[in-house]
Chains A and B, each alone.
Chain A
Amino acid sequence: MLLTGNEAISLGAIAAGCKFMAAYPMTPASSIMEYMAAKSKDLDLVMVHAEDEIAAINMAIGAAYAGVRAMTATSGSGLCLMVEGIGLAGITETPVVIIDGQRPGPAVGLPTRTEQGDLQFVLHAHHGDFPRAVLAPAIIEDAFWVTVKAFNWAEKYQLPVIILTDQHLASSHATVDPLDLSQVPIDRGTLFSEKEDDPLEYMRHRVTKFGISPRAFPGLGKALVVTDCDEHDEEGHLTEDAGERTAQVQKRLRKLIPLEKEIGTPQKYGPKKAETTLISWGSTYGAIHEAVDILRKEDTSVNMLHLNELWPFPSKAVADAVSKARNSYAIENNATGQLARLIKAETGYDVSGRILKYDGRPFTPAYIAQAVRKERC
């Protein structure tokens, strides 16, 4: 199959049962909304071209609250407008999938070029403490499976899931082995059953051991589904009560405990032990993979550690790799080494160097190999 990253995301979303998308056109994400709109009739889904990004994410959240898998897609400065929605999904515990096709910023930046400049932004976007998940496909085939995973996690843990791609991944074509749709899992999380429980007793934000409250959908039964962007009690009504507030904050954050266990081990390539470890995330995978091959042909002792699942952060695996390598270089398409900073914050370890590129162009294997040679001198 010949696919672009955005086509892989769109197919992943449809396979995962995404029935609603709202978005506002923005390069490099627009082709997702165009594809979803084109297939809306045959695949029974709805794509709303909203008046702005604020409306787009709020529409998606409304659809998800009503029980439909929903998403939006944009780029960094569109995501700036959507930030309020990330927190709304957080406090109302509404599953929503947000695609951020990164391009160089700030503001309009280089609108048709590529960058990995939004990692720190999406980790922190919005005020207050609440859980979220951040995923970043490495290659085009991944984009399909990561999107499927995002929809499952969003509903299982009732939180916003952000997928970071970039112009490089979104618009590149690759040949991909046929996708095996029988391997697409659908996990809608814990649902309220009116057959087993009294709908009059239903509480949307019931405090539970792992913070996951069974979901009911408005209008499908007698249960009233009440939620609020104000702090709320278990029923969903606004409250100022100190105890209720503390219980709800803790309940939401507890969802991270089972979610952390789902985070996969970062991908490794090259020898198990090497003098130099190249650390990366997202769409740089291919170029770095090839650079490792080039360097190893020159008898350089090098391997790579690549992160597809960035939040909750796989601290143990990364700390292990960084502490064991003599040299560890973060290779990133941004100006400050945003993953390197995240590693420092989450593990306490500094990488020994940063190979960065922020001219709007993707890395080439030769560029990386040369930069590694230079760092090692």
Chain B
Amino acid sequence: MVTVSDYAGLKPAWCPGCGNFGILEALNRALIEMKIEPHQVLLVSGIGQAGKLPHYTRGNVFNSLHGRPVPPAIGAKIANSGLIVIAISGDGDAYGEGGNHFLHAARRNHDITYLVHNNRVYGLTKGQASPTSDVGFITKTTPYGAASPINPIALAIVSGASFVGRGFAGDIDHLSNVIKKGITHRGFALIDILQPCISFNHKNTFQWYQERVYKLEDERYDLSDKKAALEKALMWGEGIPIGIIYEENLPVYEDQLPALSEGPLVKQKIDPRRVEELLAEFM
């Protein structure tokens, strides 16, 4: 039996009241309810306040460089396809420094889950604009206001991700369910998480989101309808949809690798004599 104590990690060094606490709780709850043990999970994070999350729970951890959780997560998933691989980023990590990896991981449809703590500001470096900051958001690095934000949900859909969801750090039950579905989904699952930053983003507060988010589960639409999903992706402002926005079964990158049909690479024996058949080709 998997319990809360299995996922008791180090004491978080986040600001009291940070949206990250809700995300940590939602992830732990998802793993516990799915009866996943910590040694079955690999958490690969980048740099930023979100990147610290794996230290505050338990599991295998590869805390990688800024913007880079996705590539090592892919390498580890291919090396051991038995691992449940969850990559963890913030908005700067995922959509700024790691933008290219995000697009191509979605396109190739790797079987990993990607949680992006999107607080629309840089927290770790203390309050600069991020790729998802509002137009005109004034910070020390954008004294005349930030440029237009990217739309990660729409970007993931058009890039070929097979699961695109959005959660809210202030609704732990709902977020936990979206995370569970993302983990269960085979293929690249992006979950963009609306995360209030109490220190540096005084606009997108818990209250601001609470007044605007609504659950897509209350509506009915075909989740594999890309056009309908894109319409939801473009909604922002007075009504912000949360839940699964797009989901389709698409070919999974790892399923197309013939080497993995023999089981996880890491369990395969090394035998130099296998090269004998190749040498014959050079005689």
Q: Which residues A105-154 have CB closer than 8 A to chain B?
A: none
B12 to chain A, nearest CB (A): 12
Contacts of B259 in A (CB 8 A): 19, 40-41, 43-46
- Whole-angstrom CA separation of A223 from B42 in the bound complex: 12
Contacts of B272 in A (CB 8 A): 15-17, 181-182, 184, 186
A193 to chain B, nearest CB (A): 16
Select the residue from A55, A66, A184, A230 with max chain B CB neighbours within 10 A: A66
Q: Which residue of A lies closest to B42 (CB)?
A: A218
In the bound complex, do residue A67 and residue B266 qualify as a contact, i.e. CB atoms below 8 Å apart? Answer: yes
A20 and B78 contact, Cβ closer than 8 Å, known pairs A43-B278, A224-B38: yes
In the bound complex, do residue A1 and residue B279 qualify as a contact, i.e. CB atoms below 8 Å apart? Answer: yes
- Whole-angstrom CA separation of A192 from B120 in the bound complex: 42
In the bound complex, do residue B76 and residue A237 qualify as a contact, i.e. CB atoms below 8 Å apart? Answer: no
Contacts of B104 in A (CB 8 A): 50-51, 55
Query: Is residue A253 contacting chain B, with contact meaning CB distance below 8 A?
Result: no
A66 and B266 contact, Cβ closer than 8 Å, known pairs A46-B78, A58-B75, A218-B60: yes
In the bound complex, do residue B83 and residue A22 qualify as a contact, i.e. CB atoms below 8 Å apart? Answer: no
Query: Is residue A243 contacting chain B, with contact meaning CB distance below 8 A?
Result: no
In the bound complex, do residue A51 and residue B80 qualify as a contact, i.e. CB atoms below 8 Å apart? Answer: no
Query: Is residue B73 contacting chain A, with contact meaning CB distance below 8 A?
Result: yes
In the bound complex, do residue B282 and residue A51 qualify as a contact, i.e. CB atoms below 8 Å apart? Answer: no
Query: Is residue A371 contacting chain B, with contact meaning CB distance below 8 A?
Result: no
In the bound complex, do residue B278 and residue A11 qualify as a contact, i.e. CB atoms below 8 Å apart? Answer: yes
- Whole-angstrom CA separation of A220 from B39 in the bound complex: 8
In the bound complex, do residue B274 and residue A62 qualify as a contact, i.e. CB atoms below 8 Å apart? Answer: no
Cross-chain contact of B42 among A2, A17, A61, A219 (Cβ < 8 A): A219
Interface size counted on chain B using CB atoms at 8 A: 57
A144 to chain B, nearest CB (A): 10
In the bound complex, do residue B75 and residue A70 qualify as a contact, i.e. CB atoms below 8 Å apart? Answer: yes
Contacts of A221 in B (CB 8 A): 39
Report B52-64 CB contacts with A as 1/0, cut-off 8 Å. 1011001111111
Cross-chain contact of A14 among B58, B76, B101, B278 (Cβ < 8 A): B278
Report A195-233 CB contacts with B as 1/0, cut-off 8 Å. 000010000000000000000011111111111111000
- Whole-angstrom CA separation of A3 from B68 in the bound complex: 37
In the bound complex, do residue A58 and residue B80 qualify as a contact, i.e. CB atoms below 8 Å apart? Answer: no
Query: Is residue B270 contacting chain A, with contact meaning CB distance below 8 A?
Result: yes
- Whole-angstrom CA separation of A184 from B76 in the bound complex: 26
In the bound complex, do residue B278 and residue A230 qualify as a contact, i.e. CB atoms below 8 Å apart? Answer: no
Q: Which residues A1-57 have CB closer than 8 A to chain B?
A: 1-3, 7, 11, 14-17, 19-20, 22, 39-46, 48, 50-52, 54-56
B76 to chain A, nearest CB (A): 4
In the bound complex, do residue B79 and residue A58 qualify as a contact, i.e. CB atoms below 8 Å apart? Answer: no
Subset of 16 A-B contacts with CB under 8 Å: A1-B279, A22-B71, A51-B100, A54-B100, A55-B100, A59-B71, A59-B78, A63-B78, A63-B265, A65-B62, A65-B75, A66-B76, A85-B65, A88-B68, A217-B266, A225-B60
Residues of A within 8 A of B (CB): 1-3, 7, 11, 14-17, 19-20, 22, 39-46, 48, 50-52, 54-56, 58-70, 84-85, 88, 92, 178-179, 181-182, 184, 186, 199, 217-230, 236-238
Residues of B within 8 A of A (CB): 10, 38-40, 42, 44, 47, 52, 54-55, 58-65, 68, 70-80, 82-83, 100-101, 103-104, 257-260, 262, 265-268, 270-279, 282-283
